[in-house]
Amino acid sequence: MSDDEADPELLELLRQHLQGKLNVSEEPETGVLESAEYVYDNAIDVAIDMRSTKRAAAAIHSQMQQKNYSTATWAEHELHPKAKDESTVAFIFTMDLLNFSFWSELPDDKRFAVSYRDKTWTGYWSLVASIQRALDEDIPITSSDFWQSEEECTLECLRHVFRSCTDEEIPLLEERLACLREAGQVMYEKYECSFTNLIDAAAGSAAGLVNILARDFACFRDEHAFDGRRKPVRFLKRAQILVADIWACFQGEGYGEFRDIDKITMFADYRVPQILNTMGCLYYSPLVDMTVRQRSLIPSGSSWEMQLRACSIWCVELIRREILAQHPDTKVNAILIDFFLYDLMKEMEANNQETIPHHRTRSIWY
Ligand SMILES: Nc1nc2c(c(CN[C@H]3C=C[C@H](O)[C@@H]3O)cn2[C@@H]2O[C@H](COP(=O)(O)O)[C@@H](O)[C@H]2O)c(=O)[nH]1
């Protein structure tokens, strides 16, 4: 074929494409990273210190290597479910439906806590312990059928499931019941009460599953107005950590197999901003700093809160890029960095190491 004759196969492909016959599917995007960068670019009360972020990236990488931090770490936690089957998918879905707002203003011996397997659990682990304890007591807390039953899944039943070994009950109990009720309804109407049908609907895309959760479940739709921007900014924290927990638990196989898992960002909670500030990566304006140190409430949906959450996501993205720039062969993503930072923060708290307090926002989003 002479140089100036086009390849007939290529021409055919082009013709089909132009006729729209090719299903050139757009890979889904969650819009979270774009939101985080937008808020970061427009933030005036929270900033990122680039020198500290670069230094933190080196420290995080080396500690993750030393601790051999990987998806396997997830199942090593004593309370996390071990079986690699559908019951564990149901467990993780239930857990991340309710994975929010455990913080308390009371001292440790008076704050909401759960006694389970001869230990006292607080924070996130109080949630996991409560679900394990309910299953031990044959309460079907991970069944979406149960969540729909107004006779069985009552506020009293949930109060029993989350019963505390102190005088303080779990925060936002009514909101947690509402999340279960709504999710039970959606699972019945759209997914035949099967969580694996829900995962299948994403066809192997992590971003696709996050978008499906945000589309179908109002209680996962963690997006908010910011600064008059037409489009809401999206954090989708519990939708993202749900996908990440499934990926980590199943170690990227079976139900945990996602071709685009690296599109998941850091989960904008109240612990990772705290450690990023403690490491000097996140800078708070004097007014924000004072408010956080005084443990004063920062309203849900406020500009300060948006800036705290978004700059944390963007900071972890910069840490991820820096680690990959210095160590191109490292298997690292925002999820593993995030898991590492959360666990590091909890270690520092357990060792009573001096850190800035976490910010206080009460909501169902994180
Ligand atoms: N960004 C981020 N946020 C996380 C976690 C986890 C637990 N993930 C486990 C799974 C794998 C990891 O290795 C962890 O062991 C909980 N949270 C959030 O923190 C808050 C609870 O804080 P506290 O009350 O102090 O326990 C609450 O908003 C909760 O949603 C995480 O990993 N990343």
Compute CA distances 215 → 208, 235, 301, whole Å: 10, 14, 20
The answer to the question of residue 8 being in a domain is: no
Q: What are phi and psi of 47, to 5 degrees?
A: -140, 170
- State if residue 222 touches ligand 1 by the CB under 6 angstroms criterion: no
Sorted by sequence, the CB contacts under 8 Å of residue 131 that are 6+ apart come out as 91, 94, 95, 141, 142, 161
How confident is the model over 31-76, as pLDDT tens digits?
A: 999 999 999 999 999 999 999 999 999 999 999 999 999 999 999 9
Nearest-atom number in ligand 1 for the CA of 358 is 25
Instruction: Work out the average pLDDT over 71-85.
Output: 95
The pLDDT of residue 355:
95
The answer to the question of residue 12 being in a domain is: no
For residues 164 and 15, give the distance between their C-alpha atoms in angstroms, rounded to a whole number: 66
Least confident of 5-19, 79-93, 201-215, 229-243: 5-19
Instruction: Work out the average pLDDT over 291-314.
Output: 98
Residue of the CA atom closest to atom 5 of ligand 1: 342
Catalytic residue among 118, 269, 289, 338: 269
Report the domain count for the chain: 1
How confident is the model over 123-150, as pLDDT tens digits?
A: 999 999 999 999 999 999 999 999 999 9
SS3 assignment, position 120: strand
Q: 259 with 247: CB under 8 angstroms?
A: no
SS3 assignment, position 134: helix
**Beta strands in the chain, from DSSP E residues, in sequence order:** 46-48, 114-116, 119-121, 223-224, 233-234, 282-284
The answer to the question of residue 362 being in a domain is: no
How confident is the model over 273-283, as pLDDT tens digits?
A: 999 999 999 99
For residues 314 and 320, give the distance between their C-alpha atoms in angstroms, rounded to a whole number: 10
pLDDT score of 234 more than 70 = yes
Sorted by sequence, the CB contacts under 8 Å of residue 149 that are 6+ apart come out as none
Instruction: Work out the average pLDDT over 172-193.
Output: 98
Across the strands, what pairs with 297? 360
* Block residue for tokens 């898992």: 261
The answer to the question of residue 258 being in a domain is: yes
Residue 160 pLDDT level (bands cut at 50, 70, 90) = very high
Nearest-atom number in ligand 1 for the CA of 345 is 25
Residue 116 pLDDT level (bands cut at 50, 70, 90) = very high
Q: How far is the CA of 4 from the centre of ligand 1 (A)?
A: 61
The answer to the question of residue 315 being in a domain is: yes
Which of 77, 104, 124, when mutated, tests ligand 1's pocket best, judged by the most ligand atoms within 8 Å of its CB? Answer: 124
The answer to the question of residue 135 being in a domain is: yes
Length of the chain: 366
How confident is the model over 203-230, as pLDDT tens digits?
A: 999 999 999 999 999 999 999 999 989 9
- State if residue 270 touches ligand 1 by the CB under 6 angstroms criterion: yes
Q: Cβ atoms within 10 A of the Cβ of 107, count?
A: 7
For residues 152 and 284, give the distance between their C-alpha atoms in angstroms, rounded to a whole number: 46
Active site residue 260: no
Mean pLDDT of the chain: 95
Residue 17 pLDDT level (bands cut at 50, 70, 90) = low
- State if residue 96 touches ligand 1 by the CB under 6 angstroms criterion: no
The pLDDT of residue 134:
98
Listed as own residue / partner, the contacts of 128-136 with beta carbons closer than 8 Å and 24 or more positions apart are 128/79, 128/80, 128/95, 129/79, 130/161, 130/162, 130/170, 131/91, 131/94, 131/95, 131/161, 132/79, 133/161, 134/161, 135/91
The answer to the question of residue 361 being in a domain is: no
The pTM assigned to this predicted structure is 0.93
How confident is the model over 250-289, as pLDDT tens digits?
A: 999 999 999 999 999 999 999 999 999 999 999 999 999 9
For residues 149 and 154, give the distance between their C-alpha atoms in angstroms, rounded to a whole number: 8
The answer to the question of residue 17 being in a domain is: no
Q: 130 with 161: CB under 8 angstroms?
A: yes
SS3 assignment, position 46: strand
Nearest-atom number in ligand 1 for the CA of 73 is 13
Q: 213 with 245: CB under 8 angstroms?
A: no
Which residue segment(s) compose the domain that 265 sits in? Answer: 28-350
- State if residue 103 touches ligand 1 by the CB under 6 angstroms criterion: yes
Residue 11 pLDDT level (bands cut at 50, 70, 90) = confident
